Amino acid sequence: MTNSNKEIRKTSSKFVRIRCPSCNHEQVIFGKASTPVKCLSCKKVLAKCSSGKVKVRAKVLEVLQ
């Protein structure tokens, strides 16, 4: 099978490393999550889904590619 027949799609989806404002726990979340994202340590909601992308309610430390 050759690659000439396959189409390679580039995605605009990214992962984001964030820090919880309550307990300073850092975690990586998906930039287009379909469910609310909670802190793994204190269970505070860090991001809510909104029309395909998340609205982050925490400090964004880094956008991972």
Tokens 């609205």 -> residue: 55
Residue-range domains of the chain with CATH = 12-64 (2.20.25.100)
Per residue of the chain (65 residues), what is the pLDDT tens digit? 555 567 777 767 899 999 999 999 999 999 999 999 999 999 999 999 888 889 999 999 999 98
pLDDT of residue 56: 93
Q: Residue 31 contacts by C-beta under 8 Å, 6 or more apart in sequence?
A: 13, 14, 15, 16, 53, 54, 63
Task: Indicate the pTM of the whole model.
Answer: 0.74
pLDDT of residue 2: 53
pLDDT of residue 50: 85
CA distance 13 to 7: 18
